[in-house]
Structure 1
Amino acid sequence: MSASSPEANTRLAGIDARLYLVTDSAQCREAGRSVADTVREAVGGGVGIVQVRDKDIDDDAFYTLTREVIAAVDSVLVDTNRRVPIVLNDRVAVAQRLLAEGVEVHIHVGQSDTPVEEVRELIGPEPLLGLSAANSTEFAAARESGVVDLVGIGPVYDTTTKTDAPDGIGPDRLGELVGEAGLPAVAIGGISTDRAAELRGRGLLGICVVSAICRAEDPRAAAEELLAEFGDGLAEAAQ
């Protein structure tokens, strides 16, 4: 069994992680939509995980934004059996507030954010915890922590979404890193519709996108096209 297979982490059971949207408020505004409207259309098109990310607003505004995203996702999931996790980028205090209110949310952190062991203590055992990781040392630390459910690896391609992002590692190196990770993995960084097919067969649980959906003229169609190009993810890897 691959370490990146869904069976390797039963906490991911029931989640279609093939397409993971990370929101960008500025890009959504530039496209003439709210984040919630973008998310609603994207989930309708097949996005299976939504990470709320906005480094430019305070916790109260981020709480409001997250509530809007949750409502948007819930409106799509009515009368379906789909499970689409809402993941908060780093905002541990906001996650604690929502969890205390009985709202199911999850967390993703980077290497320079709150340490994962501390995050787990603060949010409890139930929420999923994702971590950005890029090398053997970071993968080993993630595994040894015993609290990380999912790693994000990248950037795969050069990206302008994060101004401090390093150069893209490319699909082949990505595949090597997924093999080293020993945890379920998703790829991020510069992934577009015309590049998604290059990531088939790399052992990934899924691909993360930002501008490919946030800047898209039609987020629903963009999600559908990305899924069509990426294919069945791990099934492709097994062929």
Structure 2
Amino acid sequence: MHINPLFPYPLYLVISERDCYPKNWLKVAEEAIIGGVDLIQLREKADDAAAFLDKAVRLKKLTDHYGIPLVINDAVEIAAQIEAWGIHVGQNDLQPLAIREKYGDKLTIGWSIEAVQQLESQQMLFVDHLGVSPIFSTPTKRDTVTEWGITGLKQLRNSTEKPLIAIGSINFQTAQQAWNAGADSIAVVSAICQSADPRQASAQLKALLK
């Protein structure tokens, strides 16, 4: 397993209540952690701030209990309020420099990379790791610019030292490909959330990352 000391979290779960339905999403999160997930990101695009905060607080209790990092998607204020480990933002969210200016080093910052040109951006100075999104196009995210593919992932790997998180239709067939192409972390949604046995699915995915 090529563990990057800057991002020692090979199996990354992105979770939402809807992605787990009809299963209880918190139960899925716990089963996934027991199975081998190293980090969880809460992504609730449809929730208002109060509902998102409520979920974030409950998930933070769980991730703290198991000692794994919690990342909040987009909602920087919520991430800061619950003292999450990190925040993940895209091109249309509060940008890394602004987050760093407001919160200092309180939050680890992940940034979605959609074009190679972003590597030249001054924002890169404030980014801890990059979400390479999507590796393969995915029904859970329709507003994307580039479908990177394995070739694009390799190109990015040769162009930056930043930890790379591969996301977008990552499943049992594609996880190992992305890992071997140089991803430091594999982010999954439905491969765990929609699994009949999230604990076993997590363990099987983790076993591929060798």
User: Structures share a fold, TM > 0.5?
Assistant: yes
Secondary structure in 2 matching 1:157: coil
CA separation of 1:228/1:104 partners in 2, compared to 1, >3 Å: closer, same or farther? same
Q: Does 1:181 align with 2:165?
A: no
Among 9, 34, 41, the alignment partner of 1:17 is 9
Among 90, 93, 100, the alignment partner of 2:74 is 90
Kindly provide the amino acid, as one letter, of the partner of residue 18 in structure 1: P
Q: Which residue of 1 aligns with 2:109?
A: 129
TM-score, normalization: structure 1? 0.80
Shift of 1:60: 1.1
Give the share of equivalent positions with the same residue, in percent: 31
Distance in 1, matches of 2:40 and 2:70, equals 5
* Cα pair 1:199 1:230 within 8 Å, conserved: no
Distance in 2, matches of 1:43 and 1:91, equals 23
Secondary structure in 1 matching 2:158: helix
Secondary structure in 1 matching 2:187: strand
Kindly provide the amino acid, as one letter, of the partner of residue 22 in structure 1: V
Alignment RMSD:
2.0
Among 88, 91, 111, the alignment partner of 1:111 is 91
Shift of 1:163: 2.5
Q: Which residue of 1 aligns with 2:151?
A: 172
Among 199, 203, 207, the alignment partner of 1:220 is 199
Q: Does 1:47 align with 2:37?
A: yes
Kindly provide the amino acid, as one letter, of the partner of residue 60 in structure 1: A
Distance in 1, matches of 2:3 and 2:177, equals 19
Q: Which structure 2 segments of 5+ residues have no match?
A: none
Instruction: Note the alpha carbon deviations across 1:169-204, whole angstroms, 9 max, x for none.
Output: 321221112222331111000000122121232222
* Cα pair 1:35 1:69 within 8 Å, conserved: no
Runs in 1 of length 4+ with deviation above 4 angstroms? none
* Cα pair 1:156 1:170 within 8 Å, conserved: yes
* Cα pair 2:60 2:84 within 8 Å, conserved: no
Shift of 1:67: 1.2
Q: Give the length in aligned residue pairs.
A: 209
Distance in 2, matches of 1:230 and 1:5, equals 10
CA separation of 1:226/1:5 partners in 2, compared to 1, >3 Å: closer, same or farther? closer
Q: Which residue of 2 aligns with 1:59?
A: 49
Q: Which residue of 2 aligns with 1:205?
A: 184
Q: Does 1:38 align with 2:28?
A: yes
Distance in 2, matches of 1:135 and 1:151, equals 12
Secondary structure in 2 matching 1:114: coil
CA separation of 1:209/1:41 partners in 2, compared to 1, >3 Å: closer, same or farther? same
CA separation of 1:166/1:217 partners in 2, compared to 1, >3 Å: closer, same or farther? farther
Shift of 1:167: 6.3
Q: Which residue of 2 aligns with 1:149?
A: 128
Q: Which structure 1 segments of 5+ residues have no match?
A: 78-82, 232-239
